[in-house]
Amino acid sequence: MNTTTTRLTADMQQSAARLEQTWRDPPGILGWFSAINHKTIAVRFMLTTMGFFLAGGVLALIMRLQLARPENHLVGPDFYNQLFTMHGTTMMFLFAVPVMQAVGSYLVPLMLGARSLAFPRMNAFAYWIFLFGGLMLYVGFLLDIGPDAGWFAYVPLAGPDYSPGKRVDFWAQMITFTELSALLEAIILITTIFKMRAPGMTLNRMPLYVWTMLVTSFMVLFAMPSVMLASTALITDRLVGTHFYNPAEGGDALLWQHLFWFFGHPEVYLIFIPPLGFMSSIIATFSRRPIYGYAAMVLAVIATAFLAFGLWVHHMYATNVPELGKSFFTASSAMIAIPTAIQIFCWIATLWTGKLSFRTPLLFALGFFFILTLGGLTGVMLASVGLDLQVHDTFFVVAHLHYVLIGGAVFPLFGAFYYWFPKFTGRLMSETLGRWNFWLFFIGFNVAFFPMHLLGLAGMPRRVWTYPASMGWGDMNLTATVGAAIIAVSVLLFIINALKSRRHGAPAGPNPWGAGTLEWGTDSPPPAGNFVAPPVCGGRYPLWEPDGVPARVTGLDDDRRAILTTTLMDARPDLRPTMPSPSIWPFLSAIAVTVLFIGSIFTPWAVVWGAVPVAIGTTLWFWPNRKSTERQVAREVRP
Amino acid sequence: MKITVTTGLWACVIASALLAGCYREQRPLPGAPATAAPTDPLRLTSLQPGEPKAAVNSGNPYEDNAYATAQGKHLFKQYNCNGCHGSGGGGSGPALMDDKWIYGSEPANIYATIVQGRPNGMPSFGGHIPEDQVWQLVAYIRSMSGQLRSDVAPSRSDSLSPGKPEQRREKETPTPESLPQSAK
Amino acid sequence: MKPSMHESGALDVSALPTFGFGHRSLMWWGTFGLMIIEGTVFAITVAAYFYLRSHSATWPMNAAPPDMFWGTLNTAVLLASMLPNHLAKQAAEKLDLKKVRLWMVVCLAFSLLFLAIRVLEFTSLNTRWDSQAYGSVVWMLMALHTTHLVTDAYDSAVLTVLMYTGPLEGKRYVDVSENAMYWYFVVLSWLPIYAVVYWAPRY
Amino acid sequence: MTRTTAPLALLFAAAGAYAEPAQSALRPAGIQAERIHDLWQLTLAICALVFAAVLAALLAALWRAPRGDAATPADVSPLSRPEPRLRRNVLLAVGASVALLFVLIVADFQTDRLLNRMPLADAVNIEVTAHQWWWEARYDDPEPGRIFTTANELHIPVGRPVVLKLKSSDVIHTFWLPSLHGKKDMIPGRTALLRLRADQPGTYRGQCAEFCGFEHALMAFLVTAEPNDRYEAWADTQRREASNELSAQESRGRQVFMERSCVMCHTIQGIGANATFGPDLTHLAGRATLASGVLPNNREQLAAWITKPQQQKPGTNMPSTALSQEELDALLAYLGTLK
């Protein structure tokens, strides 16, 4: 397939060299901490989240070993409670949500034909904050300060009276870190998607994946403030004696549950919606045709986002919810299945009329259909008040949520890694290992989690560190543990495959899959400035357009970080702003903020004295440099 | 480069883990604490010949453990110490959150007071309350007058709040004091 | 798609301006995002306020409602500060450095004033954060908004200094204009909070 | 049940075929659990159908679609022309899903209504208070003299409605007795009502379903449903105080009870032990289990539970009590008299 690289003229080659010079990250250890190129940060972000994914997986394995036999004493209740709290917290806050934003922060600019993300320094800052928050949690865990009140930290158990010490405070501050990072990423992505699309990429030509990231980012803006408020109130209850959750002084334990689930349920969709975009990219490419029903897909995603805010109470049926309320939340919880169904049917229609090539990415996408559909259907069961009263807080729910999150998010995510790995590294991953990886994961997953449905119905509650032999749950638990081991092997294969292919994989070239979206129109891995010449977009699948190569943009300086911004709706060329250059200050500011947050766990005054270094750091981050400013002024064109 | 630094970060994590685990956060299950000192001989007065006897410092290990101190707080309520001592503010029994200590402020003194009882109404709980629970109570009682680190002392309870939570109280410097009038 | 894009192989954009105001600038979208987030935080806190109120027999719980004087005065000051703020914004969009400097300084003076009054507001709330849930949520509302006052005052201070010392370029005027927009948000978001903190306990 | 779902149903039935005493949502023994179980079977059938249909469509698509690879030119014509057949089929599929969902929602509303409309004539009122980590049950009665308290093992009459008033004394617990009804949270500062009725005599196991700390896993209880006369007889025994005709060793045991830590937490009616921090032991010997439904109530277990409870339930609030063999024997002998 034609690409820009195959038709470089001599002067374009010089220009490409200058661009590389302009956009690449500074060398050296200091340069490493000053890096702001969206691809550099995104790769670090992805590696970090994968690290947390593995950590959370190890915790899960220990839990499965403990539960493999009844009345097992491999670990005690104290450590077990820390294990499942850390597992849930890690997977939800340190893996699932951030990994989606990490992948997005790599792909979105490339898919839009942009040179960079908006606010690259803020992007670096968001990464460092996330990293420090996650490390804080794990250092605490290793020092026996691991949170032990569940990832949902229900008060009063997580409150000052029943969770003494600093364990829960570390958890609550970790929330502050990760939510801050996620909120910043959301702002960055929204701005990028609205203002930095290639000329001609009207909203209705935007790749479906970009749509999912746009919708997800907006959901973040509305969902995450809720949990930040909740955890702040929790920490003030614990540290300065406020009474938000103290019934004796007019507070209310359910206030926590409302605030938490108003965030917590949309969060599931923050995790689930971007993978819908992975699915659409992979299915289109490997069935050699556009996704059927573009408009329906977009509207379905938007509908999901709206409904997601209307069903948090279905986590609280067992509390005293008034009947009418329950009916409303039942209806909306069941209705959210419709948009997902629409998308599934559109994908099946696409496959039905496509020319299929069964490469590993498509295999993972197909795994989604089996697992997610099952998980979605158990979700419909949980939406019903009657059934929920029986299976709520049992292993049935554990099975359900893993079917939804692993089937709905992790399988497409793995597919996405196989699909875009060539773009990240310039090399293809091994197909053989890929197939082993997929089949082991698929089988292991079902062996591990299907029995949990039955366990739940047979009366086994969640979050139990052990169970009496007389309950007869032993065999199914043993089966689940075997399945967990199989999953571990397959993930190990994935790591081996990635490490091996990074060095010795088959060279990919710009577009190994013959895909249609812009990120495949540049080298693999892309140059520091993403595109030697920014493309102009002629359709939904520009690389599939009759003329193959999109027309390109000229007139952007290549000796400074000039980018093109376009208008909101129909992406007409608008401005030529200049992006900021690399800086150490985002990193240093992140450290200052970390000191403030951790300090405030021990004394409220940290908020005061900790604010000073933060103010200094952010000011120096913002403060312009005289020389480059003069260069800017020289070439300034006023509106 | 990328790899080395990431591994470096993880190395720091592991290293910090190898530091002595954080005793403040452990959840020691019932069973007498490792090094609880023998109790002070019964002394009904602080008057003594010659050099004032140096305060016995028993180093109650529970005073560095948030969980044990919080357990002490729960026991204080369950064994109805509030009945006489209010929530530390005092009632028919002396206040426990002030700087006055009739029978000494050291853990060993308080232990003795609980185990042996004192004239004028303090019953002897020896044998009734297991030793480790007594030490938990001792730790909590000292937190009431701010003797413990603020990261160990309990925060507010889920009940009517009598005032500042223990962890926010200023440290009172204990002054021995003769029996109150009422007791004479 | 406009024909110009397909006539030649290239689309020349060298004539486009290098900065622009309002929603043309990336900065505007960044600020817009912040405003959504913080607006949501305020909204949810207010919701929590009324949730707690709906579970309590008496409101405010064994405490007198806050004294009106300082809060009302501060509301007036905040509203008044929108004028210099508006003029600073206009001046920035006309790239008029002298006026920008003038009105930014006036804004700064205002921010010092309302921060001072805010301190007095805290003394007249008639409850403590650790007295009961009512006190907690009132202090939470006030603390959240005060944080915004402080940060906004600090941002404006830094910008003002920059306006005097330089180095200056066109997009700094955009920063001034976005800072002004954020100021609007801080002032206008205060009105519902003022209503909740000072009037809700009275009705 | 359709043919597709029959094997599935078996599979799930298998899940119910375990544990004695029963603790399974699939073995309802009371009207409320029955209703939920009916809803379950309908939902299971419909969901199984949908799942099968989606999978069939997918496999058909994979089977019939031609193969291609990266070199195959992509067919972009769908961007410009409509695809009426796909449109019709997708719309049909969506329509079918909406219809089935609607059926489920209606069935659910119906079930929910029935659950809330259970007849309550001549009901037994029990106030159940959850503690970390045991259950206190106070049987209410218009005559204050007939009110009595027990722990961890409830008896209820078959066929009579039971109204449980659920409370918590510390953190959130959840009362779950799957054979008779679904869950209800016990939230500090709030009271919840749970209405149920046992229609088959038997002993059913229940368990705390909300994570509540160390011993959440081992916080169980038993409910024995028996004919009304047997129930009334049981209730009368519960109302009696501990007997005072004791052998020398037994009265020595009572002395141990009063002089050691036991008396600090436990009540025994009629001997002046009135602490309520732990379960009421007035009729301990009459119970089948110890330690909130996890240990069989026999001499060895009881001895172990008194001397080293932390080995049975790490983190429990029961302190280990050091007793000489003589004291222990006496205490066990005395506790044995508490029928």
Residues of D in contact with A357 (CB under 8 A): 67-70, 72
Residue B34 has pLDDT above 80, yes or no: no
Percent of chain A with pLDDT over 70: 98
Residues of D in contact with A392 (CB under 8 A): 182-183, 209
pLDDT tens digit sequence for D27-62? 999 999 999 999 999 999 999 999 999 999 999 999
- A111: amino acid identity, one letter: M
List, in sequence order, every residue forming a beta bridge with D153; answer none if it has no partner. D222
The pLDDT, as a whole number, for residue C68 is: 93
Give the ipTM of the model, two decimals please: 0.91
Residues of D in contact with A78 (CB under 8 A): 214, 314-315
**Which two tokens mark B28?**
């020691």
pLDDT tens digit sequence for A211-261? 999 999 999 999 999 999 999 999 999 999 999 999 999 999 999 999 999
Q: Kindly give, in sequence order, each residue whose CB lies less than 8 Å from that of residue A239, ignoring residues fewer than 6 positions away.
A: A169, A600, A601, A604, B155, B167
Contact between B100 and B94 under an 8 Å Cβ cutoff? The reply is yes
Peptide bond into D21 cis (omega under 30): yes
pLDDT tens digit sequence for B137-148? 999 999 999 999
The pLDDT, as a whole number, for residue A78 is: 93
pLDDT tens digit sequence for A615-637? 999 999 999 999 989 988 988 89
Residue D7 has pLDDT above 90, yes or no: no
How many CB atoms lie under 10 A from the CB of residue A627?
A: 9
Q: Which of D131, D169, D212, D277 to mutate against chain B (most B CBs within 10 Å)? A: D277
pLDDT tens digit sequence for C160-185? 999 999 899 999 999 999 999 999 99
From CA C24, how far away is CA C33, in angstroms rounded? Answer: 15
Residues of B in contact with C130 (CB under 8 A): 156, 161, 164-165
* DSSP notation for A188-250: HHHHHHHH-PPTT--GGGS-HHHHHHHHHHHHHHHHHHHHHHHHHHHHHHHHT---TT-GGGT
Residues of D in contact with B82 (CB under 8 A): none
The pLDDT, as a whole number, for residue A234 is: 96
Q: How far is B123 from chain D (nearest CA, A)?
A: 13
Phi, psi of D75 (to 5 degrees): -95, 100
* Residue among C177, C168, C173 nearest C31 (CA): C177
- A483: amino acid identity, one letter: G
User: Mean of the pLDDT values across residues A3-13?
Assistant: 62
From CA A468, how far away is CA D218, in angstroms rounded? Answer: 8
User: Mean of the pLDDT values across residues D270-283?
Assistant: 91
List, in sequence order, every residue forming a beta bridge with B175; answer none if it has no partner. B100
Q: How far is A23 from chain B (nearest CA, A)?
A: 18
User: Contact D310/B130, CB-based, under 8 Å?
Assistant: no
List own/partner pairs for A431-435 with CB under 8 A and 24 or more apart.
A431/A359, A431/A360, A433/A493, A433/A494, A433/A496, A433/A497, A433/A500, A434/A359, A434/A360, A434/A363, A434/A497, A435/A360, A435/A363
Indicate the pLDDT class of residue B172, thresholds 50, 70 and 90.
confident
The pLDDT, as a whole number, for residue B174 is: 79
Instruction: Calculate the average pLDDT of chain C.
Output: 92
How many CB atoms lie under 10 A from the CB of residue C87?
A: 18
Residue C147 has pLDDT above 70, yes or no: yes
The pLDDT, as a whole number, for residue D1 is: 37
Phi, psi of B143 (to 5 degrees): -70, -20
What are the Cα distances from residue C111, in Å, to C97, C141, C155?
Answer: 21, 19, 11
The pLDDT, as a whole number, for residue D2 is: 43
Contact between A415 and A285 under an 8 Å Cβ cutoff? The reply is no
R_g of chain A, CA atoms, integer Å: 25
Indicate the pLDDT class of residue C132, thresholds 50, 70 and 90.
very high
From CA D220, how far away is CA D153, in angstroms rounded? Answer: 9
Of A124-133, A261-270, B26-35, D158-167, the least confident: B26-35
Residue B105 has pLDDT above 90, yes or no: no
Of A155-164, A592-601, C9-18, D256-265, the least confident: C9-18
Query: Which residue of chain D has the CA closest to B126?
Result: D260
Query: Which residue of chain C has the CA closest to A194?
Result: C29
The pLDDT, as a whole number, for residue B52 is: 45
Indicate the pLDDT class of residue B41, thresholds 50, 70 and 90.
very low
Indicate the pLDDT class of residue D20, thresholds 50, 70 and 90.
low
From CA C140, how far away is CA A236, in angstroms rounded? Answer: 10
From CA D56, how far away is CA A264, in angstroms rounded? Answer: 34
User: Mean of the pLDDT values across residues A197-204?
Assistant: 92
Helix (H) or strand (E) holding D190: none
Contact between A525 and A424 under an 8 Å Cβ cutoff? The reply is yes
Residues of A in contact with C61 (CB under 8 A): 249-250
Q: How far is A86 from chain C (nearest CA, A)?
A: 27
Helix (H) or strand (E) holding C60: none
Q: How many residues does chain D have?
A: 339
**Which two tokens mark D236?**
């009368």
* DSSP notation for D90-120: HHHHHHHHHHHHHHHHHHHHHHHHHHHT---
User: Contact D86/A353, CB-based, under 8 Å?
Assistant: yes
pLDDT tens digit sequence for A444-462? 999 999 999 999 999 999 9
Alpha-carbon torsion, ordered D220, D226, D228, D230, to 10 deg: -100
What are the Cα distances from residue A230, in Å, to A153, A169, A174, A256, C57?
Answer: 10, 13, 13, 6, 23
Residue D176 has pLDDT above 80, yes or no: yes
The pLDDT, as a whole number, for residue B39 is: 45
Q: Please tell me which of the candidates B27, B133, B158 has its beta carbon nearest to residue D319.
A: B133
The pLDDT, as a whole number, for residue B28 is: 80
pLDDT tens digit sequence for A68-99? 999 999 999 999 999 999 999 999 999 999 99
* Pairing of β C10-12 and β A552-554: parallel
The pLDDT, as a whole number, for residue B16 is: 53
pLDDT tens digit sequence for A12-61? 888 899 999 999 999 999 999 999 999 999 999 999 999 999 999 999 99
User: Contact B2/A51, CB-based, under 8 Å?
Assistant: no
From CA A360, how far away is CA A436, in angstroms rounded? Answer: 10
Residue A202 has pLDDT above 60, yes or no: yes
Residue C194 has pLDDT above 60, yes or no: yes
Residue B132 forms contact with D (CB below 8 Å): yes
User: Contact D174/A393, CB-based, under 8 Å?
Assistant: yes
Alpha-carbon torsion, ordered C164, C169, C173, C176, to 10 deg: -60
Q: How far is C132 from chain B (nearest CA, A)?
A: 8
Residue D260 has pLDDT above 80, yes or no: yes
Instruction: Calculate the average pLDDT of chain A.
Output: 93
Indicate the pLDDT class of residue D247, thresholds 50, 70 and 90.
very high
The pLDDT, as a whole number, for residue B37 is: 45
R_g of chain C, CA atoms, integer Å: 21
Q: What is the pTM of this model?
A: 0.93
User: Mean of the pLDDT values across residues D174-183?
Assistant: 95
**Which two tokens mark A170?**
């570390």
In this predicted model, which residue has the larger pLDDT, A446 or D79?
A: A446
Residue B157 forms contact with A (CB below 8 Å): yes
* Phi/psi-derived region of residue A419, left when phi > 0, alpha when psi is between -120 and 50, beta in every other case: alpha
Instruction: Calculate the average pLDDT of chain B.
Output: 76
Contact between A238 and A165 under an 8 Å Cβ cutoff? The reply is no
In this predicted model, which residue has the larger pLDDT, D322 or D95?
A: D95
Percent of chain C with pLDDT over 90: 85
